[in-house]
Every structure is written in structure tokens, then in C-alpha cells.
Chains A and B, each alone.
Chain A
């Protein structure tokens, strides 16, 4: 990241793009073999999540030209991929069509939501680093390389604005799916549900807090980080 040479940056970007292509192809092949989208097993979900993270990362980088965002997002993608290595690669069971519809909707919406949250997480970390430097007046190398507080805060807000409603819808469709699976609305495992409620509450606070009371800057960044830690926690509980 402290490299200045455009070649290195282009090369790194190219590698990520290449990875995305391979991932796309791999997900495509797997889906055509299993006959359903990549959302039935934890492994598939992890792969799909990593894919969406890179897609959203490319979109934000392209739209907002934020230098070095990749340095914070790509390690996360790597982390998700690393987890997926240890998960079972077996194809999942395909439920009957009506339930399948809700499952597809639930998983897809949630995954896009999580991918957006991962960008908010990266933006939050970058915000805290940059904010710390400006506040303490110790302006290191990162100060010059990283974007302004305004841009990072704005990015945090934008991706949460996308992610939170999607996650909420994902949560709702998930509940419907559960109900369709012949289970009562709130009868499922509390240990699995509570983290989700936590995630929803944290992002809800960041999302509505900004609108209502002007919650922004450091607190919004901290919220986005905390929220994503909860996401990772709930993911492990789901596995």
C-alpha cells in the first residue's frame, strides 16, 4: 500500500480482477452441476460472499476512486476464502420449490448485505486510523495515502444505506423461510438468532442514528466495525 509505483497497483488490481473472474466461473460451474444457486451450504455461502465483496469493492473503488480501500477489503476476502477451505464442499440438499424461493431470496439478500457491511467495516477501520492521525497530530505515511475523513464517513454511510435494508429484507425472508419449513416464527435456535438480532440492532443504530441525531464520524465507524464483528461471530455460529 505504501508502494507508489503505478505498476504495482495496476498489477494488484489485475490479480484481484483475475481472481474475480475465476471465482465467477467456479461459482457458475458449481451451480450448473448442483442445479441451484450458491446458497445451500456454508461453503457456498462463503464463496458467494467473497464474490460479492469483491464485486462491491470494485464498484466502490470505481465510483469513488478511493485509494487503498483494497488493502483493507482484500484481506477480508482472503479471510472468508480461508474459512471456506475448511468447510464441507458437499452439495447441499435442495428443498421443495416454494421453500426454495424464500431460501434463495433470504440468502442472496443477506449475502449482498454482508458484502456491503464488509466495505463499511473496511471504511470504518480506515476512518479510525485517519482520524487518529489527524486528532493526535501524528501524521504518518498512511495520512498522505488514505482518503479524507469526509470520504470515508460518506462511504460508510452509503454502504450501510445499501446494506441495512437488504439485510433487513434478508432477515424477514429468512423468517418466512423458517416458517415455511414448518417451524413457528420464533421457535428456532436462540443461539443462532440472537446474534442476527444484535447485528440488526447495531446497524440499525448506525443507520437511524445518522438520520435522527447526526451520528457520524468516529462513532459511525466504530458502529460499522462492531456490526461486522457481530456478523463474523454469527457466521461462525451458523456453521
Chain B
């Protein structure tokens, strides 16, 4: 058992625990201060950070003893929320040291998220960290660990495609629109039908810069109402066919039992557009646009199944990218552990004392060889004297080193000692 810092993590997440339990264990932002203080006031826990989101509740802590630390944190979560331990044991997971490091890296890189690669979690981890910092419940180890986790998340985001591909119908549609028309700002969208999904997709497109919006519906009032929310203009349902060529993107979502856009209609529209491409998104079931329309040049038609297929393929791709991300994380865990292990004062103290003892024994033996006139009792006394000298000299440095390694700049002291005593020869 080492006396160096021990990292532990206790938590529940969406994979281990149903939402009925998770919601009971959540820490509200308001009560977080009290919780962090309560934890850090325990002599066993020297640093802690509470991460509480809708998908997970986790406490990261630096503790004196791993096993006791885990027990303490689990008890704390249960006591805090007034739930008995017996009911929760099956849900908790706990990790220590490099496993805890790996877990945090995975969480902040969004590999542990419900939607792989989503961007929100990193912000939540950052918030948890800054809250804990503002209440001074963190120290050198957790500070370093979390700062590192943010770097790793950034690296994963930049070097893998984990968050590149849209995994919702509307984001996949926006991505497609951006692969057909580069800049959405100078392009227009027409909604035919006022379905909820169509509205969502339109809002998404608008957030990416689409400025001109037309809305057509069988009931003009509904078209007008939606046009107002989207800051667009309403069209008479019958006139949309004549106006169709004005739109670069058409989203259909009517309840019509038959196709409302047919090949020859689109052919006429595309001619009017001088072959400028048009992107058709048919979210209606039954479909609003005849599938043959896709055969026309410069026309790109996606129905709801096509978009779902894109989403599924993107999900799979994110899964593959997650493997690349794990390679990065594994490397970073090793790097962090290398740093972390330098924080452990014990090996350094042992080495320092061994070094001193070796020198003492060598010098004493050398001297005693030439002093045969001494009795063996005298020789023994000299041995003891030198031993206690060494102990006395090293006593304060040992105590101080142990103390200092618990502080923010502890690793500097360790480095200095190793250097002064030539321990890394």
C-alpha cells in the first residue's frame, strides 16, 4: 500500500442506472457548494469534484485510502439523497487510479455519452470543474487531471471524426444541404405542409443561415402562423407549384395520400431554375414526392428512410471513430500516470534513505578496517552512532517531503530531492 495520492471515482450513468434512480441522485447546482464542502471536510478526502448531469452523477476524489474512499463516497451519495445503500449498490461503478483517469478522459471526450460524440458533455465537465475550483475543493491532482481531460477531449475532437457527422434527421439534412450548396445564407427553403419535423428541419436550416423561407399549407392560416414564427412568407397551397422553382430546398410534410410533386412538375421547375440544383426533403408518410424525381439531373431527393439511413451510417462511423479516440485516450492515460507516479513521495524517500545508508555503511566499513584495536562492542557503537546520525539528518527532509507532496507544487520538491541526491543516475 502506497501512501501516495489515490484517485477514485464513484458514479452512476445512463448505462448502469435507470432514469428513476438517476434523477434521485442528481446534485442541484444550488446545493453543490455544501456538498463539495461536506466531502472535503472529511479527513479521508483531500480533493473532490462532483459531476452531475442528466445522464450521470460522478464524484472524482483524491483520497487517503482507495477502498475506504470508495465506501465513503458511496455512503455520501446515499446519505445525501436519503436513499439506503442496499438499493443502490448494484448501480454504482467505481474506478481507481488509471482506470479513473481513463474514465474521465472517455467521459469528457464524449465516448461515454448516450449520443456518441455529442458536444454538450465537455461543457458540463468544465462547469463541474470550475464550480469545484471556486469552492476550493480541488487541489493539484484533480486540477491537473481535469485540465488534461479538456486537452484530451479537444485532441479527440480534432483528430478523430467522432463528432463530425450528424446523428439526427435534421442535422443530417443540414449536412446534405451544405454538401449541395456550400453557403446556406443565399439559399431559400420552402415548406410544403407544416409538420413538426419539417418545422424542426427548417429551424435547423435557418440557424445555419437560410434567410428566405416560404410556407405552403392546405390551411392558409397554419401556413401563415408558421411563416410568422420562421420569419418567412406564407403561400397559397395551390400556388406553391408555380413558385417551386424559387426554392433551393423544399421540405414536404403534408398528409396528402398521393404524390403532390411529380417528375414532370419538377422537370419544369428545374428548367426555370436554369439547372440550379434543388434539394428535396420528403418527411411525409405516405410520401409527398414521387421517387422518380431523383432521376432528374441536379435534383436530390431524400425521403425519411433515406435520411434515417444516413443517420444510421453516421452512427456507425462515429462508433469506428470511437476506436481511434480510444487509442488517443490510452496514450494520454499513460502520460498522465507517468506524471501522477512522480507525486508519490514514498519511493523517493526510500531511495534517498538507501542512498544515505549505502554511503554510511561504505565509509564506516572503510574506517573500521584500519581500526583493528577496537573491540567488537566499540565497533557496534560506532555503527549505531552513524546510523542515528543519518536518521537524524534525514528525519526533517523526510517529514517535509511527505507534507510537501500533498501540496500544489509537491512534484517540484520531489524533483529537487531526486536531483540533489542523484537518484536518477
Show the binding face of A for B, using Cβ within 8 Å.
4-6, 130, 134-135, 137, 139, 143-144, 147-151, 213-219
Partner of A134, one of B160, B183, B300: B300
- Name the residue among B179, B297, B313 with the largest chain A CB count within 10 angstroms: B179
**Beyond A139-B313, A149-B180, A215-B275, 11 additional pairs, beta carbon < 8 A:** A4-B160, A5-B159, A130-B179, A137-B302, A148-B178, A148-B181, A149-B181, A150-B180, A150-B181, A214-B273, A217-B277
Q: What residues of B have a CB within 8 angstroms of the CB of A219 in the complex?
A: 297
Bits for B308-339, please: 1 = Cβ < 8 Å to A, else 0: 01100100000000000000000000000000
Partner of A218, one of B273, B298, B310: B298
Are A148 and B182 within 8 A (Cβ)? Answer: yes
Q: How many A-B residue pairs have CB under 8 A?
A: 56
Given A4-B161, A134-B300, A137-B302, residue A147 in contact with residue B182 (CB < 8 A): yes
Are B275 and A135 within 8 A (Cβ)? Answer: no
Instruction: Check B164 for interface membership: any CB of A closer than 8 A.
Output: yes
Are B179 and A143 within 8 A (Cβ)? Answer: yes
Given A148-B181, A150-B182, A218-B297, residue A139 in contact with residue B310 (CB < 8 A): yes
Instruction: Check B165 for interface membership: any CB of A closer than 8 A.
Output: yes
Show the binding face of B for A, using Cβ within 8 Å.
158-161, 164-165, 176, 178-183, 273-277, 294, 297-298, 300, 302, 306, 309-310, 313
Distance (whole angstroms) from the CB of B174 to the closest CB of chain A: 12
Q: What residues of B have a CB within 8 angstroms of the CB of A144 in the complex?
A: 161, 164-165
Are A134 and B297 within 8 A (Cβ)? Answer: no
Partner of B182, one of A135, A151, A217: A151
Interface pairs (22), CB distance under 8 Å: A4-B159, A4-B160, A130-B179, A134-B176, A135-B294, A135-B300, A137-B302, A137-B306, A144-B161, A148-B178, A148-B180, A148-B181, A149-B180, A149-B181, A150-B180, A150-B181, A150-B183, A214-B275, A214-B276, A217-B298, A218-B297, A218-B298
Q: What residues of B have a CB within 8 angstroms of the CB of A150 in the complex?
A: 180-183, 277
Closest residue of B by beta carbon distance from A137? B306
Are B275 and A216 within 8 A (Cβ)? Answer: yes
Are B309 and A137 within 8 A (Cβ)? Answer: yes
Closest residue of A by beta carbon distance from B274? A214
Q: How far is the CA of A149 from the CA of B294 in the complex (A)?
A: 16
Given A137-B309, A144-B164, residue A216 in contact with residue B276 (CB < 8 A): yes
Q: How far is the CA of A214 from the CA of B273 in the complex (A)?
A: 9
Are A134 and B298 within 8 A (Cβ)? Answer: no
Q: What residues of B have a CB within 8 angstroms of the CB of A214 in the complex?
A: 273-276
